[in-house]
Amino acid sequence: MVRAGLFEDVDVVLHWHPDDENSANSRTSNSNKSGKFKFKGISAHAAGAPEKGRNALDAQIQLFVNASTYRQQMVQSNRMHGVIKDGGFKPNIIPSYTSSEWYLRSLNEDGLNILEKDFLNCVNAAALATKCEVKITSPDYMYREILNNKTMYELFMQNSENIGRDMPLEDPLRPGLGSTDMGNISLAMPSIHPMLDIDAGDAVNHQPEYAAATIKPGGHKAIFDGAYGMGATIIDLAEKNLWDKL
């Protein structure tokens, strides 16, 4: 949408995200690139003629092994994780087709480019070892690291504290482990991406217990507080004429 010019008449962007703690400036969000990796082999009877086949599932498994081996020396703030989407049909048929989907994350675009190059070595090595072909598809974009606007997050912090929600500032060097398209927007225009605690106990994002907490009182309060904080911040920008401070 940014590339298509849909934000050209927008002055600022505000967005909040649920979390297990409050943060006015949110943790650094990683650059992220995704990809799908399809291996093509040759099917054959797994018991009667295994030498006639080329095992595309072995190729996927080897990719995961290669990635796990690489993680031992990987930059600690980097992340890469995948799932097998298609892994074959029957145990007695050597799989001729498998697919997996992966996310690669790094603190910034430069780090992500290095990580991607190394990961592709893992992919191609798996294909070479199993004599399978590999097809790689990836979107022509990546999620970028986030840049929170200081003027805006300080206003959001004060407005939140006015209604009883403490919004501390995070260490800007503390690495974030998630990724969001708000990063791309924040590099194009002044933006904030605060995190609001929804009182989910020990549950964390992407767990069923965390989803259940969104419709409980803590989740409802976060919706109200987040909406108030963003609305009040926009009013402050306008009434105090702070546009040149962004």
Q: How far apart are CA 115 and CA 18, in angstroms?
A: 28
pTM confidence score: 0.78
What is the model's pLDDT at position 47? Answer: 96
β-pair type (97-106, 31-40): antiparallel
What gap in Å lies between CA 156 and CA 168, rounded to an integer?
A: 11
d(C-alpha 246, C-alpha 191), whole Å:
9
Question: For residue 95, which amino acid is it?
Answer: P
Starting at the edge strand that comes first in sequence, how are the strands of the sheet with 31-40 ordered? 79-86, 97-106, 31-40, 133-137
Give the pLDDT of residue 3: 85
Cβ burial of 198 (10 Å; 0-12, 13-18, 19+) is buried
Of 66, 83, 67, 82, which is closest to residue 129 (Cα–Cα)? 66
> CA-to-CA distance for 13 and 32, rounded, in angstroms?
21
Give the pLDDT confidence score for residue 218 in this predicted structure: 96
Instruction: Provide the residue-wise pLDDT of the chain in tens; the chain has 246 residues.
Output: 888 888 889 999 999 999 988 988 876 678 999 999 999 999 999 999 999 999 999 999 999 999 999 999 999 889 999 999 999 999 999 999 999 999 999 988 999 999 999 999 999 999 999 999 999 999 888 888 888 999 999 999 999 999 999 998 877 666 666 888 888 899 899 999 999 999 999 998 889 999 999 999 999 999 999 999 999 999 999 999 999 999
